[in-house]
Amino acid sequence: MLSRIAWKNIWRNKLRSGIIITSISLGLFGGVFAIAFMNGMANQMINDLINLELANIQLHNPQFLLNDETIYTIENPEKKIERIKKIEQVKSVSSRTVRMGMASSSSTGKGVRINGINPEIEKQTTELSDKIIEGSFLEDERKNQIVVGEKLVKELKLKLNSKVILTLQTIDNNITYAAFRITGIFKTQNTMFDESNVFVRDKELKEIVHLRENRTNEIVVALSDNDFTKQVKSKLINEFEKEIHNEKLIVRTWDEINPSVKMMQQMSLQFSFIFVIIILVALSFGITNTMLMVVMERVRELGMLMAVGMNKIKLAGMIFFETLYLSLTGAFAGMIISVGAISIAAKTGIDLSPIAEGFNAYGYSSIIFPEIDTAFYFYVMFFVVITAFLASVYPARKALKFNPAEAVRTEA
């Protein structure tokens, strides 16, 4: 009964109710869309990190992580790869020889991470081959081919088919030089990655640094779904328990390799809730003010209701329901707009090309696809109910202080 009366009461002044509902809906729409935008940015960075750089899981010799020296290797990688492939959730496994060195041209030089890969297997493990903008991904049969990032090519003032000199150290601690021809140029959304990584054939890099065929520095594991990461890591730890115990092997997930990205995602989630609370607190002042105006305009009416026997609990309940209906109507409208706008933006993307260079420098994509968990809408509605309750407290207290005998004599 009270709820029906409250619903009718909020439409007695359609203009005022319309304004506050519009304010709530637009405020929540702006907040939810902004959160979806930030969430999309964080998730895209994680996806790019997994699909282009790290894959889901990596295996190393622990000493290699401490010293970054090619001499610290994983023994018999092919046998280990075969054991890893037997795990159901594994999509692909590749090995890499890794060496830090310098890429030089006649103009300048730049420190780089030299990755020795098997091109065909790497295509199945990462999506780097899809980012080739010129040339190919080590597909020719010619020796000493190299794939470099667009950013590095510009810094070295080179182009496709130019020669680049790699300066690096062998496992015998001797400095050696090798000339490579640029046969492929890639461009990702992370300019830091593009300017600091080059890719050559694994066999050729091993020959240059004098590393044996049955050794490698890095085993990269790509999974069918990122949700399986922790589960597969546990299986790998059990599978290689002896090697891990003897400190010959260490298994790490992408978020352990690059914890800052995972931290950013968690911070984004925490910020989402804080952001929504700030918006609702701001809106609550408007809702409280509106309901206070409603109460002061209906002093005579409320006095008559108390005079004919309506108790204070029912009177406060009526004001609460009016506040709740205003808030929920606005919130529901805001959620509908948000769902529509986010669905469209998730398909088309938001193009930030004019400021892409600044975004790419931090690993963000220039086209953002907003996304948000469906459960977040329910969290928002829960917070709206709490906000409505708090916003109704002061107007309800004001109404309960009315003296019925004086209130009924108040002129409308």
pLDDT in tens, 241-300: 999 999 999 999 999 999 988 888 888 888 888 888 899 999 999 999 999 988 888 888
Cα distances from 28 to residues 336, 339, 364, 375, in angstroms, run 10, 12, 26, 15
Mean per-residue pLDDT of the chain:
91
- DSSP conformational letter for 128: G
Radius of gyration, alpha carbons of the chain: 31
**Average pLDDT of span 9-36:** 92
The structure tokens listed for 324 are 């709740």
Yes or no: say if 254 and 98 are a contact pair by the CB < 8 Å rule.
Answer: no
Confidence of residue 338 (pLDDT cuts 50, 70, 90): very high
CA distance between the termini of the chain: 25
Share of the chain above pLDDT 70, in %: 97
Q: Which three-class secondary structure state does DSSP give residue 199?
A: strand
Least confidently predicted of 52-66, 139-153, 353-367: 353-367
- Whether residue 403 is predicted with pLDDT greater than 90 in this model: the reply is no
User: pTM to 2 decimals?
Assistant: 0.82
Mean pLDDT of 351-380: 79
pLDDT of residue 361: 62
Report the distance separating Cα 163 and Cα 158, nearest Å.
8
Q: Which residues of 30-58 are buried (b: 16+ CB within 10 A; e: fewer)?
A: ebbbbbbbbbbbbbbbbebbbbbbbbbbb
Q: What local confidence, expressed as pLDDT, does residue 61 receive? A: 96
Q: Are strands 109-117 and 132-135 parallel, antiparallel or unpaired?
A: unpaired
Identify the helix (H) or strand (E) that includes residue 19.
Answer: helix 14-48
Residue the block writes with tokens 């890591």? 233
Tell me the per-residue pLDDT of 102-131, one tens digit each, with 9 for 90 and over: 999 999 999 999 999 999 999 999 999 999
